[in-house]
Amino acid sequence: MLTPLFLISLALGLWRVIETNRLAEGLFDRTLLSVGQAIARDFAIRDGEALSNETLRLLTETSEGKIFYHVKGPDGSFVTGYATPPVNPSIEPETVDTVLSRPAKIYSGVYRDVPVRVLQLSEPVDMGWVAGDFVISVWQELEARNAFVRGIVRQTVTVLALLVLTVLVVTWFGLRLALRPLTNLEAAIARRDVGDLSPIKRSVPQEVTGIVATLNLLLDRISRRISSKDQFISNAAHQLRNPIAGVVSLTQSLEVDGAAPKQLERITALRSASQHLSRLSNQLLSFERNRELGQLSDHAKPFEVNALAAEVLERSAPDLLRRGVQINFDRGPDMWIRCEPLLVQEVLQNLIDNAVQHAGAPELEITISVLQREERAVVRVKDNGRGLWGDDALHALARFSQVTPSAGSGLGLAIARKICANHNGGLEIEAAPEGASVVAWFPKLNSQSI
């Protein structure tokens, strides 16, 4: 929109310059013609005596610039006026009609190194002592007409500039006012949680109600599709849980003394696979349970963070040490959070399991730290493995997603993230110089709330 406006303004400005030059040329040339004819008339009436007062005033007051004149007799001798008129250029001068008996000639010349416009006319005069054609030249500096042109052009440019500025201001405010509902809609959508697929209920201009309605229809379809998929996964996990538990029990009963090595190897592989399926079904149920739980219940009680973390480590330590994992615990200041303790401990257990599954370090070392950051109680699980950066960090937080193939289900961090969100907290992957650093945080209770 702005480019056409500037182009139109530029075209109008150029047109105005051309038209003003043409107007000034006609106006000032007619003034010279009037002065020349007045001088010729005075010579004819006064027989070459002094010019009339009206003509003298016309010479000095016309068009904001002084007019010079020169009168030459029939024999070429100087009669009156300024002694040296401008030189007639070699180009053919223009011819203009006059009220006298003969046409006048007009051209541009130089007088005392200054550009001038010259009008020259010839008129027969009989003064008794001499008779013949007297040549009358009148001229004026071009600066007078140039100043006239500049004044008009300056006014035109000022008006155009004010007009363009007014249009820009009105357009800017008009667009901001017209687009305010859309920008508010954009901000509201940007503030939404990733999982919020509820309909958009904000008021919008009539022109975009169709777009919002279509977007709401799309959100509803996506929500229905996700709900159907989650329901299917939940039902499948429920249906598989009991048969998988039976398979696990059966494999444990097959591990008897005296089994052949080949048979024992197959039984061990079957037990490992069945335990993995059991873990997967339990995580699916846990994810579905936390998804339906929503925000934390008002009946949740305060628990001390260090105690929750220590209890998880106490349960996990024997298995971690058996695997050769070095485990460290950095106790922090006493901090209390309102929570469901089993769910928070599941978060910590998932973070530890994730480090074991994906760190990839030959001598794995895991450090659990309890920290206070402003009004947050933070539990950080850090390892010395391959680490997580950029897109890998986002990929790791998605459901059924793994950065590197492992025996895990790809649900651990997704479950932990959902539990943290239900506790008004969050789960983040921090940048670390070495290994991966995953942080779970919860709102810290003040002393009055404990």
CA–CA separation, 85 and 137 (whole Å):
7
What pLDDT sits at residue 305?
94
Question: Token digits for 433?
Answer: 């110089």
Question: Token digits for 437?
Answer: 């650093």
The contacts of residue 374 (CB under 8 Å, 6+ apart) are none
Q: Regarding predicted confidence, which is higher, 38 or 307?
A: 307
Q: Regarding predicted confidence, which is higher, 28 or 296?
A: 28
Closest CA to 59 of 137, 148, 123: 137
As assigned by CATH, the class of the 206-291 domain is: mainly alpha
What pLDDT sits at residue 303?
92
Adjacent-strand bridge partners of 80: 71
Residue range 241-269, pLDDT digits in tens = 667 677 667 666 666 555 677 777 777 77
Range in 58-72, 175-189, 230-244, 378-392 the model is least confident about: 230-244
What pLDDT sits at residue 449?
64
CATH topology of domain 295-449: Heat Shock Protein 90 (3.30.565)
What pLDDT sits at residue 390?
55
Strand order in the sheet with 78-81: 78-81, 67-72, 131-141, 114-126, 104-111, 94-96
Question: What is the per-residue DSSP string for 332-363?
Answer: ----EEEE-HHHHHHHHHHHHHHHHHH---TT
Residue range 99-115, pLDDT digits in tens = 455 677 888 888 888 88
Q: Mean pLDDT, the chain, as a whole number?
A: 77
How far is C-alpha 443 from the geometric centre of its chain's CA atoms?
35
Q: Which band of pLDDT confidence, cut at 50, 70 and 90, is reported for residue 377?
A: very high
What pLDDT sits at residue 380?
93
% the chain with pLDDT above 70: 71
Q: Regarding predicted confidence, which is higher, 67 or 387?
A: 67
% the chain with pLDDT above 90: 9
How far is C-alpha 26 from the geometric centre of its chain's CA atoms?
53
For residues 353, 359, 360, 364, the Cα torsion angle rounded to the nearest 10 degrees is: -80
Q: Which band of pLDDT confidence, cut at 50, 70 and 90, is reported for residue 430?
A: confident
Q: Look up the pTM and report it.
A: 0.44
Q: In the chain, what is the straight-line distance between the N-terminal and C-terminal CA atoms, in Å? A: 62
What pLDDT sits at residue 334?
93
Question: Token digits for 296?
Answer: 């934390």
Residue range 186-203, pLDDT digits in tens = 787 777 766 677 888 777
Residue range 143-161, pLDDT digits in tens = 888 888 888 888 888 888 8
Question: How do the domains of the chain map onto residue ranges?
Answer: 2-151, 206-291, 295-449
How far is C-alpha 205 from the geometric centre of its chain's CA atoms?
23
Q: How would you label 163-185 residue by residue, b for 16+ Cβ within 10 Å and e otherwise?
A: eeeeeeeeeeeeeeeeeeebeeb
What pLDDT sits at residue 330?
93
Q: How would you label 394-428 residue by residue, b for 16+ Cβ within 10 Å and e otherwise?
A: eebbebeebbeeeebbbbbbbbbbbbbbbbebebe
Where are the strands (E) in 112-178, listed by range?
Answer: 114-126, 131-141
Closest CA to 135 of 125, 144, 127: 125
Query: Which region holds residue 112: left if phi is over 0, alpha if psi is between -120 and 50, else beta?
Result: left
Task: Rank 35-44, 122-131, 293-302, 336-345 by mean pLDDT and report only the highest.
Answer: 336-345
CATH topology of domain 2-151: Beta-Lactamase (3.30.450)
Q: Regarding predicted confidence, which is higher, 115 or 360?
A: 115
CA–CA separation, 248 and 237 (whole Å):
16
| Cβ burial, residue 1 (10 Å; 0-12/13-18/19+) | exposed
